[in-house]
Amino acid sequence: MRPGCCATLQHPNIPETYDSGRVFGTYFIAMEYIPGRTLKDLITHCRTTVGPVPEPIVLNLAMQLCDALDYAHKRCDEHGRPLGIIHRDVTPANLILAPTGVLSWSTSASRRPGLRRSRASPA
């Protein structure tokens, strides 16, 4: 991921990125901590207790995710050039549900097209 790429993203469903870089050959991203469980946890809990996640909850979470993805995909730099953000791993395990019901999309797997991953890259 390009350093600073996600630092410009300010959206209620995207955790703030404080810093990113490379230290001793290992890439890192320092992000806002969002307390809560993952969407995967919610799906598993519902499956074992009440069945599928109730439709109103699914629709609300889908709306929040689509809003965050739309915002990120349309984001441009200070010169009006698209940032070209692509998320390569939108999965229930990467979506965090805060106790308030706000869905947070982890941008740690985001990158710009054409950038190669290092073997040290965690994603």
Between 117 and 27, residue with greater pLDDT: 27
CA dist 24 and 2 (Å) reads 17
CA dist 96 and 90 (Å) reads 11
Contact 14, 105 (CB under 8 A): yes
What pLDDT, on a 0 to 100 scale, did the predictor assign at position 5? 54
Kindly state the tokens that stand for 41. 């946890």
pLDDT band at 106 (very low <50, low <70, confident <90, very high): confident
Residue with tokens 């290992």: 26
Q: Which residue numbers are catalytic?
A: 89
Q: How is the chain split into domains, by residue range? A: 6-111
Q: Where are the alpha helices (DSSP H) in 6-119?
A: 39-49, 55-74
- 2-11, 15-24, 42-51, 93-102: the lowest-pLDDT one: 2-11
SS3 for 31? strand
- % residues pLDDT > 70 (the chain): 80
pTM: 0.76
pLDDT digit string, tens, across residues 21-65: 999 999 988 989 999 999 999 999 999 999 999 999 999 999 999
Q: What would be the CATH architecture of the domain defined by 6-111?
A: Orthogonal Bundle (1.10)
